[in-house]
Amino acid sequence: MTIAANFSHEIDLRIYWEDTDAGGVVYYANYLKFMERCRTEWLRALGIDQQRMRIERRLQFAVVDLTVDFLRPAVLDDEITVTAALERLGGATIAFRQEIWRGDVQLIDADTRVACLDSATLKPRAIPKDLFSEWRNAE
């Protein structure tokens, strides 16, 4: 599939008590939640409603591979920026480059791969060619 390789999305978040451990440092698993939110907003920016996709097309996305480098910690009250940039759109998978920044300091460096699944069987399915058609046509 041909698709614009530089399409990216970012969201800004603030770190709250609920995101941290007892020392006020972001609990490591919460970075994964932040990255999930950014990928969800990436899909929304493309006009893809995941609930509708699951109900009407019986499709959903799930993380199948993730590599994360924890470079620096975020702490209580930090304002962070989470990014998701398309690396590759395959037959049944989407590969993202993801980063988390506090200002000009990079906190997280990650590669995330999600698979398109049949929502009833949870088995891999090809990404429908029309799902990203508006984006492909904009190239």
Catalytic annotation present for 21: yes
H-helix or E-strand spanning residue 50: helix 50-57
Range 86-114 burial, b when 16+ CB lie within 10 A, else e: beebeeebbebebbbbbeeeebbebebbb
From 12, 21, 77, 130, the catalytic residue? 21
Contact 116, 126 (CB under 8 A): yes
For β-strands 8-14 and 79-89, DSSP reports them as: antiparallel
Cα–Cα nearest to 118, from 77, 35, 57 = 57
Strands (E), the chain: 8-14, 59-70, 79-89, 93-102, 105-118
Residues with active-site annotation: 21
